[in-house]
Chain A
Amino acid sequence: MNLFHKLSNWLRLKRQEANVLCVGLDNSGKSTIINQLKPSSAQTQDIVPTIGFCVEKFSTSSLTFTVFDMSGQGRYRSLWEHYYRDAHAIIFVIDSGDKVRIVVAKEELDMLLHHSDVKHRRIPILFFANKSDLQDSLSSVKVSQMMGLDNIKNKPWHICASNALTGEGLQEGVDWLQDQIRSLKS
């Protein structure tokens, strides 16, 4: 049995599983991104503000992702930290059209990075500078500068501009995340 297990792993017959935590401020598009990543048969039309959190699953060529889609509303943000321990990767969604609240996103990110369950782990973080279709949206470079992402030294991170409504930029980010998780697991 064990041998078969190893063999199937080696042949990548069975997909590996990864727990991913999806966080970000309210109205940044977390649920929309997760919805877009699901197979088209499982997608929903209406996205409503998430209460508490939702667990979603989707798979790529080699990994099965279990995503904890956290609510971004102020009163639910205190829930995030309870899921840091079991997460293999973090997706942080930023509304690149909301310039005023970039500081709030930065504050939440800093709190995340300084949390004892995250601080010393080499956990990959994927940033989506979402809503890139908006006219006055910030570029991913500008977002990473305003968020101070250059200061993250001990974790692999990647930022990509995305448009969750059309799915633009999402695949690039998920591919990066998949490579990171596989390189960490092997």
Chain B
Amino acid sequence: MSGSENKDINEVNSKWLDAHYDPVANLYTFSSCVALADLNGDGESKLVVGDLGSGASNMKLKVFKGTSLMTENTLLDLPTGLVAFHMDQNEPRTPAIAVASGPFIYVYKNLRPYFKFTLPPLEVNELEQEVWSQAREDKIDPMSLKEMLEGIRNKAQVPLSVRSLKFLMLEHQDMESFVNMHKQQPIRRQTVITCIGTLKKNMADEDAVSCLVIGTENMEIYVLDPEAFTILSKISLPSTPAFMDVTGQFDVEFRITVACRNGNIYILRRDSKKPKYCIELSSHAVGLVRVNKNIVVGCTQETLHGCTQKGKKLWTTYLPASIVTMGLMDHKSRGFQAVLVGLANSEVHMYRDKNLVNIIKTQDVITSICFGKYGREDGSLIMTTKGGGLIIKILKRTAVFDEKDTTPGPPVAQSVKLNVPKKTKLYVDQTMRERENAVAMHRAFQMDLYRLRLTAARAYVKALESNLTPMSSSASEPLKMNAVVQGLGPSFKLTLNIQNTSVCRPSMNLAISFWYDEKLYSLKTSFFKIPLLVPGLNYPIDTFVECLSDKGISDVIKVFVLQIGRSNPLLTAHINMPVSEGMALC
């Protein structure tokens, strides 16, 4: 079992080349904040990462070239998403980077800040505004302000602004200063961006102008114009979007698939202000990837579901560990698409439809996955780890992924066709003859068989009559003998085991004689007497044989058990002597 596992690991390693591993690259990010883009238009793709830093500080926009960091820009807030997109038709065709962070989208061109888009402010609760204006004029003290805000929070349709919510959280002594600090500014309510994607404007080309698509905390999706950053389209959702996939062209037809925090997936289309289809998952989504026209979604219950774009569920696969991140592997030049799933057990599983086609073992838990062109290599797999490491792997040119699942099933050999030779004329003739003369052939066979049996029986009887067997057949002296030869030669030890098989009659006056070729062997004593044989006991009798030849030949030694006064031997044994191997000693 472990052997086959090892083989699997080796096989996995044979598909990928380990191009780079830096365990201390200081990159803390998720798949949504990683992109590969040819930022300089020199044909070499760079890795653009929205680094989360420690979560409170050190947020950076980092660009990697090869194994080293090329540039970094400081970000003001945590990035929630990062995309590279073409925002104009200008030559050279270099993409811009959009980083979603809080309520803003920061757009970078040539790695310089270019534009900041702010989400439109939301409607503010009128009562709340009223209360704060009273506070500004010092008509009410902080305690009554708190009471009134709490009242509004519990009843109102429009939720409170962030400022009021923060105020309600404060301890009594901090309230006064907070009110004094903030009361002059007007109240604003703003939502934040939860996910970001791109949508081609009106052409399907790789480097066509794209719109930004953003999902917000207040359950809406906006499509932004690529140049003016005005809102082109706005769609409401029943819940807050968490993961988003966009396909199509804005001016023609598009489809936005969003996995929401209520555990449902909604599929939106052009010209529909409401979700067109809804997939209700049994647990919350942790990743969403579109492969061709199907949606693959990973859930918290360690499952992977495949659905059509109309929301019909196709398959479910169970995973060995919980999902940390998901990514699409789209190898365009080979036309190969698969889903990469980073698991909590430091493995990356590659699924093609529901079939597991590859497992990559990694040094640490993978938090972000990105497959695409890096540098000049098309099949690069960029992963960052939980510990801030960076792993770059390159797909081998010769790597082939089996269509078949690696999980057990009928072996391939079962469906291999055997190369059965064609029937020859001789074979056909024989078959015809057998069919026509079956009875005669059977009779002939039976006759020969009876003859063979008769011959065998006669030979047996003859052997018994002349006492050529190691079993004595005479009723007066029932004996049994077997012989053992020990040694490699030229000296052999010959042990004869003689047993009286009668019930109660002892055997007496027995002798043993040997017959052998005197040119080949010499025996110390070739004739000796046997003592009285008690019934049932085994008498071993030893003698030594010396082989005289050094030519590597052997012969038969015959052993005769004789009764004194009888000319016929009682029994005979033929001993096939082994070839003497110790000729050097002679």
Q: Given A26-B376, A75-B333, check contact A100 B20 (CB 8 Å).
A: yes
Confirm or deny: B396 has a beta carbon within 8 angstroms of a beta carbon on chain A. yes
Confirm or deny: B374 has a beta carbon within 8 angstroms of a beta carbon on chain A. yes
**Min CB–CB distance A2 → chain B (angstroms):** 47
Confirm or deny: A54 has a beta carbon within 8 angstroms of a beta carbon on chain B. no
Tell me which residues across on chain B come within 8 A of A104, comparing CB atoms: 17, 19, 377, 394, 397
B20 touches A74 (CB 8 A): no
Contact of A136 among B68, B396, B397, B398 (CB under 8 A): B68
* A77–B378 CA distance with the chains assembled, in angstroms: 14
Q: Given A27-B376, A75-B333, check contact A100 B396 (CB 8 Å).
A: no
A100 touches B333 (CB 8 A): no
**Min CB–CB distance B38 → chain A (angstroms):** 14
**Min CB–CB distance B336 → chain A (angstroms):** 13
Residue of B nearest to A111 (CB): B398
* A71–B209 CA distance with the chains assembled, in angstroms: 32
* A106–B394 CA distance with the chains assembled, in angstroms: 12
Confirm or deny: B375 has a beta carbon within 8 angstroms of a beta carbon on chain A. yes
Tell me which residues across on chain A come within 8 A of B37, comparing CB atoms: none
0 or 1 for each of B285-319: is its CB under 8 Å from A? (1 = yes): 00000000000000000000000000000000000
Tell me which residues across on chain B come within 8 A of A106, comparing CB atoms: 17
* A100–B398 CA distance with the chains assembled, in angstroms: 18
0 or 1 for each of A101-121: is its CB under 8 Å from B? (1 = yes): 111101110010000000000
Tell me which residues across on chain B come within 8 A of A99, comparing CB atoms: 20, 66-67
Tell me which residues across on chain A come within 8 A of B392, comparing CB atoms: 100
Total A-B contacts with CB atoms under 8 angstroms apart? 48
* A19–B428 CA distance with the chains assembled, in angstroms: 59
B68 touches A100 (CB 8 A): no
Tell me which residues across on chain A come within 8 A of B375, comparing CB atoms: 98, 100-101
**Min CB–CB distance B367 → chain A (angstroms):** 21
Tell me which residues across on chain A come within 8 A of B8, comparing CB atoms: none
Tell me which residues across on chain B come within 8 A of A26, comparing CB atoms: 376
Tell me which residues across on chain A come within 8 A of B19, comparing CB atoms: 100-104
A101 touches B68 (CB 8 A): no
B376 touches A107 (CB 8 A): no
Tell me which residues across on chain B come within 8 A of A98, comparing CB atoms: 66, 375-376
Tell me which residues across on chain A come within 8 A of B448, comparing CB atoms: none
Tell me which residues across on chain A come within 8 A of B377, comparing CB atoms: 100-101, 104
Using a CB-CB cutoff of 8 Å, which residues 359-394 of chain B contact chain A? 374-378, 380, 392, 394
Count chain B CB atoms within 10 A of each CB in A27, A102, A104 and give the residue with the most.
A104
A107 touches B66 (CB 8 A): no
* A27–B377 CA distance with the chains assembled, in angstroms: 11
Using a CB-CB cutoff of 8 Å, which residues 525-550 of chain B contact chain A? none
Tell me which residues across on chain B come within 8 A of A136, comparing CB atoms: 66, 68
* A75–B342 CA distance with the chains assembled, in angstroms: 29
Confirm or deny: B176 has a beta carbon within 8 angstroms of a beta carbon on chain A. no
A100 touches B378 (CB 8 A): no
**Min CB–CB distance B349 → chain A (angstroms):** 23
Residue of A nearest to B392 (CB): A100
Using a CB-CB cutoff of 8 Å, which residues 150-168 of chain A contact chain B? none
* A98–B67 CA distance with the chains assembled, in angstroms: 9
* A100–B67 CA distance with the chains assembled, in angstroms: 6
Confirm or deny: B227 has a beta carbon within 8 angstroms of a beta carbon on chain A. no
**Min CB–CB distance A29 → chain B (angstroms):** 13
**Min CB–CB distance B563 → chain A (angstroms):** 76
* A108–B398 CA distance with the chains assembled, in angstroms: 10
Tell me which residues across on chain A come within 8 A of B376, comparing CB atoms: 25-27, 98, 101
Confirm or deny: B18 has a beta carbon within 8 angstroms of a beta carbon on chain A. yes
Residue of A nearest to B18 (CB): A103
* A104–B392 CA distance with the chains assembled, in angstroms: 12
Using a CB-CB cutoff of 8 Å, which residues 140-161 of chain B contact chain A? none
Using a CB-CB cutoff of 8 Å, which residues 61-81 of chain A contact chain B? 74-75, 77
* A97–B377 CA distance with the chains assembled, in angstroms: 14
Q: Given A100-B375, A100-B377, check contact A74 B394 (CB 8 Å).
A: no
B17 touches A107 (CB 8 A): yes
Tell me which residues across on chain A come within 8 A of B333, comparing CB atoms: 74-75
A103 touches B68 (CB 8 A): no
Using a CB-CB cutoff of 8 Å, which residues 59-85 of chain B contact chain A? 66-68
Contact of B397 among A77, A97, A100, A102 (CB under 8 A): A77
Tell me which residues across on chain B come within 8 A of A107, comparing CB atoms: 17, 396-397
Count chain A CB atoms within 10 A of each CB in B17, B374, B378 and give the residue with the most.
B17
Tell me which residues across on chain B come within 8 A of A108, comparing CB atoms: 397
* A136–B376 CA distance with the chains assembled, in angstroms: 17
Tell me which residues across on chain A come within 8 A of B68, comparing CB atoms: 136
* A111–B20 CA distance with the chains assembled, in angstroms: 21
Residues of B within 8 A of A (CB): 17-20, 66-68, 333, 374-378, 380, 392, 394, 396-398
In the complex, the 3 A-B pairs of residues with the closest C-beta atoms, listed nearest first: A103-B17, A100-B19, A99-B67
22 A–B contact pairs at CB < 8 A? A25-B376, A97-B66, A98-B66, A98-B376, A99-B20, A99-B66, A100-B67, A100-B374, A100-B377, A100-B392, A101-B19, A101-B375, A101-B376, A101-B377, A101-B394, A103-B17, A103-B394, A106-B17, A107-B396, A107-B397, A111-B398, A136-B66
Q: A100-B377, A103-B394 are in contact. List 7 more A-B contacts (CB 8 A).
A: A25-B376, A27-B376, A75-B333, A101-B377, A101-B394, A103-B17, A108-B397
